[in-house]
């Protein structure tokens, strides 16, 4: 049974989804930074690191850059509060990255809950005019990304 409802339950569902395959390396970015060890123990994700401060866009940019530097492979970033996330979302994102530089999975509120890319894309995240977490955020940031982006409906 999958836990639902609380932030901890959402985190555990997300951790279950991202640890569902042996061929990818999940990395957990935690805020506040002093909760890294506790969150790693709770989720079972051994590679846990402090998250950069700032709005979500400014948090994701260093994540993407760090992942690109550590392990040159497709980078897929997901939120920690996605109760419907499953390993198939990650597999599908990696599959789409065979044909696109960037992929987005839109959320019902106009934001998105997954972004995948081959390399860090500063233009996606570093725009002070994007209200992260707001309606149509995904569409606005997607238009700033690579010329070859895919928005999954």
Banded model confidence at residue 1, pLDDT cuts 50, 70, 90: very low
Residue pair 29/41 in contact (Cβ under 8 Å)? The answer is: no
pLDDT digits (tens, 9 = 90+) for 84-101: 888 888 899 999 998 888
Helix (H) or strand (E) segment spanning residue 28 = strand 28-30
Domain count across the chain:
1
* Between residues 117 and 57, the one the model is more confident about: 117
Please state the pTM of the whole predicted model: 0.75
With respect to residue 1, please indicate whether it lies within any of the assigned structural domains. no
Helices and strands (H, E) in the chain, number of each type: 6, 6
CATH number at residue 60: 3.90.550.10
> Any idea what DSSP says for residue 35?
G
**For tokens 């991202």, what's the residue?**
18
Residue 113 within any structural domain of the chain: yes
In a domain, 129, yes or no: yes
Domain residues for the domain of 47 are 7-151
Sign, CA torsion 107/54/35/7: negative
Inside any domain, residue 136: yes
CA gap 90, 95 in Å, rounded: 9
Range from 30-44, 67-81, 120-134 that averages highest in pLDDT: 30-44
Q: What is the mean pLDDT of residues 37-44?
A: 94
């Amino acid at each position: 049974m999958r836990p639902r409802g609380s932030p901890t339950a959402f985190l555990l569902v997300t951790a279950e989804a991202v640890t569902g395959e042996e061929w990818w390396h999940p990395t957990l970015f935690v805020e506040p930074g002093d909760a890294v060890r506790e969150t790693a123990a709770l989720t079972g994700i051994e590679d846990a690191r402090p998250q950069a401060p700032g709005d979500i866009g400014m948090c994701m940019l260093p994540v993407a850059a760090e992942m690109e530097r550590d392990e040159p492979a497709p980078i897929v970033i997901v939120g920690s509060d996605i109760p419907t996330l499953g390993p198939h979302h990650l597999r599908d994102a990696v599959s789409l990255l065979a044909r696109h530089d960037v992929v987005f999975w839109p959320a019902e509120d106009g934001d998105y809950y997954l972004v995948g890319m081959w390399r860090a894309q500063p233009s996606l995240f570093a725009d002070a005019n994007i209200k992260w977490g707001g309606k149509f955020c995904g569409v606005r940031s997607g238009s700033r990304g690579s010329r070859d982006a895919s928005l999954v409906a």
